[in-house]
Amino acid sequence: MKTLRFLLEKEFRQLLRNRQLMRTLLLAPLIQLILLPMAADYTVKNIAIAVTDNDHSPSSQRLIAKITASGYFRLAGYTASYPQALKMVEEDKADLALQIPAHFERDLVRENAKQVYVAINAIEGTKANLGGAYLRSIVSDFNDDLRVQWAVIDDAPQVTVASSNWYNPFLRFPLYMVPAILVTLVTAMVAMQSAFNIVQEKESGTIEQINVTPIRKHIFIIGKMIPFLVLGIVLFTMGLLVGRLLYGIVPVGSLLVLYVSLVVYLFAMLGLGLLLATYSNTQMQAMSLSFFFINIFNMMSGVFTSVDSMPGWAQAIVATFPPSHFIKIMRTVVLKGSGFSDIMPQLWAMAAIGLFLNTWAVLNYRKTA
pLDDT of residue 318: 92
- Summarize the confidence of residues 15-43 as an average pLDDT: 72
Domain boundaries, the chain: 2-40+172-364, 47-149
Measure the CA angle with vertex 321, ends 316 and 325; round to 5°.
95
Instruction: Give this prediction's pTM.
Output: 0.77
d(CA 175, CA 170): 10
Residue 67 CA to residue 245 CA, distance in Å, equals 36
- Contact between 189 and 235 (Cβ < 8 Å): yes
Please tell me the predicted confidence (pLDDT) of residue 206. 65
249 vs 20, more confident: 249
16 contacts: CB under 8 Å, gap ≥ 6: 22
For the chain, percent of residues with pLDDT exceeding 70: 80
pLDDT at position 323 is 93
| pLDDT of 159 higher than 50 | no
pLDDT at 112: 67
Q: How many CB atoms lie within 10 A of CB 6?
A: 12
pLDDT-derived band of residue 158, with 50, 70 and 90 as boundaries?
very low
Element (H, E) at 98: strand 96-100
Rounded CA separation 359/274 (Å):
10
Q: Whole-number mean pLDDT of the chain?
A: 81
Query: What is the percentage of the chain residues whose pLDDT exceeds 90?
Result: 21
Using the predicted structure, report yes or no on whether residue 134 has a pLDDT greater than 60: yes
Q: Report the b/e string of 203-234 with b at 16+ CB within 10 A.
A: eeeebeebeeeebeeeebbbbbbbbbbebbbe
The pLDDT of residue 291 is 84
**Superfamily designation of domain 47-149:** abc type-2 transporter like domain (3.40.1710.10)
Please determine, for residue 366, whether its predicted confidence score (pLDDT) is greater than 50: yes
pLDDT in tens, 286-321: 888 888 888 888 888 888 777 877 888 989 999 999
* pLDDT recorded at residue 355: 94
* pLDDT mean over 261-282: 89
Q: Taking 80 as the threshold, does the pLDDT of residue 357 lie above it?
A: yes
Q: Which residues pair with 50 in a beta bridge?
A: 77, 97
Residue 160 pLDDT exceeds 50: no
pLDDT tens per residue across span 337-355: 899 999 999 999 999 999 9
**Per-residue pLDDT, 51:** 92
Tens digit of pLDDT for each residue in 45-77?
788 889 999 988 888 888 889 888 888 888 999
CB 275 within 8 A of CB 66: no
